[in-house]
């Protein structure tokens, strides 16, 4: 696919046996791109914004071909797999060009044109596309044929003013949209906030197997809705409408329902189908069913299953390989517990003491699930400073200075030289924000003989500083203690660098 051919078109008729095709049959495409639309008899997708996210155009096309083939196979339940193994699609620089190339592949019978022109799909230009591939020109094919036009390029070569009087400005505008000269307005496909979908069977279903078979399109639509919204279902409700109002003199309710719940959120329909089969088999069917409705009662954000930290062995699926905690326990047993460590957050305002490293295996095996979960999250994404501080950057947080905390801390504070009362780090530093005063650690028990104060006591003024060499850095100045001032033994203020901004 060329770099500019970022529009893809698929035939709608392959996705559903119903006519017209419901939008729910096209929800599977929203998993790959938010720019999906229905145009005439085709499903179209614009992929320029998402190609890089999927690993490139070729990888995305392979995934789309597989997904469309699965949707097509699921819709054509009466056909063998070999009949639907080769998916049809058209690609082009615009939506109309992609639709035209799809119609060329389909070999759709044309109206006034006796024989369509054979144009290869990889044609670099749209001028050779026949008239019948664009609906706006096909309506005027008789006039255009008398003028000697057989393809789009022939129409563009005619004088525009006279052609507009013959076929109208609307057809010329569609031609300009097909060439990308004018923007083409499209109604993008959107998912509903709540899943609630009805399906008219078109025939009476008398037993559980027939009802379960008729519910397959609803289950496929539910799976597409969950995947596109990155959710999983916990509870759903299936309702069915009775074809008769009265039987044997007894009034029948218009609707009956069945609620299914699962212990764990799921996106797979195999387990839900088994649950439905068991519950529907226990129902007493008092009248035929002619309509079904499926509703998702409770959903949750989908958390993908964590994969192994080690590559799977040959012939082994990734789900059968080592999980995170198993990997930690194996390495700890082989190299010792101290060889594999995690970051554990601590309640301390001193940046260098907001976290500590601890052996990972005992922490994961802790009897306190909350502590183990926090440590697991911190260990899985540990950085040189504690990650929980980033989660504190919220509107209305207790300490507005948290927004200026650097993402990286130096292993040890680095002393800075002072010239003319200005700290130096590869040149003079300009103070841009501050001071942020910190006084913490007075509760530490150990003493410092020189300072006559607890060793952990931190009395600092923090600043954000800058120069052209080091960029933005986080520095602090140690405050002169009152004991030094009273003894007249005050020394020049000491400056230290502690953090960096990228």
- The C-alpha angle 454, 455, 458, rounded to 5 degrees, equals 85
- State mean pLDDT over 324-351: 79
d(C-alpha 402, C-alpha 386), whole Å: 13
Q: Based on the domain organization, do 359 and 264 belong to the same domain?
A: no
How does pLDDT run across 5-17, given as a tens digit for each residue? 688 888 887 777 6
Q: Based on the domain organization, do 174 and 27 belong to the same domain?
A: yes
Q: Based on the domain organization, do 33 and 119 belong to the same domain?
A: yes
d(C-alpha 410, C-alpha 499), whole Å: 6
Q: Is 147 inside any structural domain?
A: yes
- State mean pLDDT over 443-458: 55
Q: Is 50 inside any structural domain?
A: yes
- Does residue 396 carry a pLDDT above 60? no
Q: Which of 2-16, 203-217, 424-438, 466-480 has the lowest mean pLDDT?
A: 2-16
Spatial contact of 477 and 447, defined as CB atoms under 8 Å apart:
no
Q: Is 155 inside any structural domain?
A: yes
Spatial contact of 97 and 129, defined as CB atoms under 8 Å apart:
yes
- Does residue 70 carry a pLDDT above 70? yes
Report helix, strand or coil for 230.
coil
Q: Based on the domain organization, do 48 and 118 belong to the same domain?
A: yes
* Token pair 């899943």 in the structure block, residue: 195
d(C-alpha 416, C-alpha 424), whole Å: 6
User: Could you tell me what percentage of the chain is helix, strand and coil, using 3-state DSSP and rounding each to the nearest 5?
Assistant: 35, 25, 40
Q: What is the DSSP letter of 41?
A: T
Indicate the average pLDDT of the chain.
76
Q: Is 312 inside any structural domain?
A: no
How many domains does the chain fold into?
Answer: 4
How does pLDDT run across 162-211, given as a tens digit for each residue? 888 888 889 899 899 988 888 888 888 888 888 888 888 878 888 888 88
Q: Is 24 inside any structural domain?
A: yes
CATH of the domain at 240: 3.30.1490.100
Q: Is 490 inside any structural domain?
A: yes
Express as a percent the part of the chain with pLDDT over 70.
Answer: 74
Q: Based on the domain organization, do 52 and 149 belong to the same domain?
A: yes
HSE on the CB side for 253, CA within 13 Å?
Answer: 6
Q: What are phi and psi of 101, to 5 degrees?
A: -70, -30
Residue 502's pLDDT band, with cuts at 50, 70 and 90, is low
- State mean pLDDT over 62-88: 67
Q: Based on the domain organization, do 210 and 83 belong to the same domain?
A: no
Token digits for 283? 């129902």
Helix H or strand E encompassing 236: strand 231-242
d(C-alpha 459, C-alpha 437), whole Å: 8
What is the reported pLDDT for 410? 87
The better pLDDT of the pair 84, 444 is held by 444
Q: Is 491 inside any structural domain?
A: yes
Helix H or strand E encompassing 464: strand 458-467
d(C-alpha 165, C-alpha 230), whole Å: 51
Q: Based on the domain organization, do 46 and 95 belong to the same domain?
A: yes
Q: Residue by residue, what is the 3-state secondary structure of 258-284?
A: EEEEEEEEECCHHHHHHHHHHHHHCCC
d(C-alpha 370, C-alpha 347), whole Å: 16
d(C-alpha 87, C-alpha 360), whole Å: 50
What is the reported pLDDT for 173? 92
What is the reported pLDDT for 278? 80
The bridge status of strand 231-242 relative to strand 355-359 is unpaired
- Does residue 324 carry a pLDDT above 50? yes
Spatial contact of 20 and 43, defined as CB atoms under 8 Å apart:
no
Q: Based on the domain organization, do 296 and 340 belong to the same domain?
A: no
Token digits for 216? 């397959």
> Of the residues 391, 408, 439, which one is the last residue of a structural domain?
391
What is the reported pLDDT for 117? 44
What is the reported pLDDT for 465? 92
Residue 338's pLDDT band, with cuts at 50, 70 and 90, is confident
> Of the residues 301, 334, 364, which one is the last residue of a structural domain?
301
Q: Based on the domain organization, do 387 and 405 belong to the same domain?
A: no
- State mean pLDDT over 56-67: 86
Q: Residue by residue, what is the 3-state secondary structure of 5-32?
A: CCEEEEEHHHCCCCCCCCHHHHHHHHHC
CA neighbor of 226 nearest in space, from 274, 263, 272: 272
> Of the residues 301, 332, 366, which one is the last residue of a structural domain?
301
Q: Based on the domain organization, do 494 and 459 belong to the same domain?
A: yes
Cβ neighbours for 285, distance < 8 A, ≥ 6 positions apart: 206, 207, 208
Q: Based on the domain organization, do 15 and 161 belong to the same domain?
A: yes
- State mean pLDDT over 219-231: 87
Q: Based on the domain organization, do 213 and 278 belong to the same domain?
A: yes
Residue 373's pLDDT band, with cuts at 50, 70 and 90, is very low
Q: Which domain holds residue 483?
A: 400-500
Q: Is 90 inside any structural domain?
A: yes
d(C-alpha 438, C-alpha 323), whole Å: 42
CA neighbor of 92 nearest in space, from 8, 180, 179: 8
- Does residue 451 carry a pLDDT above 50? no
- Does residue 307 carry a pLDDT above 70? no
């Amino acid at each position: 696919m060329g770099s500019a051919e970022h529009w893809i078109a698929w035939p709608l008729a392959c996705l559903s046996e119903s006519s017209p095709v419901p939008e729910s049959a096209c929800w599977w495409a929203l998993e790959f791109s938010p720019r999906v639309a229905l145009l005439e008899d085709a499903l179209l997708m614009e992929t320029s914004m998402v190609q890089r996210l999927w690993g490139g155009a070729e990888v995305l096309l392979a995934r789309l071909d597989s997904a469309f083939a699965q949707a097509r196979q699921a819709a054509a339940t009466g056909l063998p797999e070999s009949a639907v193994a080769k998916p049809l699609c058209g690609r082009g620089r615009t939506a109309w060009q992609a639709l035209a190339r799809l119609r060329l592949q389909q070999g759709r019978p044309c109206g006034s044109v006796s024989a369509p022109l054979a144009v290869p799909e990889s044609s670099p230009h749209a001028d050779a596309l026949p008239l019948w591939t664009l609906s706006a020109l096909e309506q005027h094919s008789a006039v255009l044929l008398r003028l000697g036009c057989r393809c789009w390029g022939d129409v563009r070569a005619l004088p525009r003013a006279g052609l507009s009087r013959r076929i109208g400005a609307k057809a010329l505008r569609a031609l300009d949209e097909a060439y990308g000269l004018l923007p083409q307005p499209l109604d993008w496909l959107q998912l509903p906030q709540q899943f609630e979908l009805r399906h008219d069977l078109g025939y009476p279903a008398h037993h559980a197997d027939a009802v379960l078979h008729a519910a397959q399109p609803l289950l496929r639509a539910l799976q597409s809705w969950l995947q596109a919204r990155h959710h999983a279902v916990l509870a759903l409700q299936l309702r069915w409408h009775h074809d008769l109002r009265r039987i044997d003199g007894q009034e029948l309710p218009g609707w009956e329902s069945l609620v299914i719940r699962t212990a764990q959120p799921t996106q797979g329909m195999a387990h839900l189908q088994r649950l439905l089969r068991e519950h529907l088999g226990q129902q007493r069917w008092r009248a035929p069913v002619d309509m079904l409705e499926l509703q998702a009662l409770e959903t949750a954000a989908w958390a993908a299953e964590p994969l192994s930290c080690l590559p799977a062995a040959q012939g082994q699926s990734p789900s059968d390989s080592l999980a995170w905690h198993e990997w930690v326990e194996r390495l700890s047993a082989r190299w010792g517990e101290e060889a594999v460590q995690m970051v554990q957050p601590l309640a301390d305002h001193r940046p260098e003491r907001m976290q500590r490293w601890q052996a990972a295996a005992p922490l994961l095996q802790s009897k306190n699930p909350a502590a183990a979960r926090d440590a697991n999250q911190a260990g899985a994404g540990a950085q040189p400073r504690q990650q929980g501080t980033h989660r504190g950057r919220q509107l209305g947080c207790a300490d507005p200075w948290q927004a200026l905390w650097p993402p990286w801390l130096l292993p040890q504070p680095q002393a800075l030289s002072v010239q003319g009362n200005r700290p130096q780090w590869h040149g003079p530093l300009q103070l841009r924000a501050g001071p942020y005063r910190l006084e913490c650690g007075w509760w530490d028990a150990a003493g410092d003989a020189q300072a006559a104060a607890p060793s952990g006591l931190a009395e600092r003024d923090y600043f954000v500083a800058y120069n052209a060499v080091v960029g933005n850095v986080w520095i602090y100045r140690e405050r002169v203690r009152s004991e030094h001032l009273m003894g007249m033994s005050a020394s020049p203020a000491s400056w230290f660098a502690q953090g960096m901004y990228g």
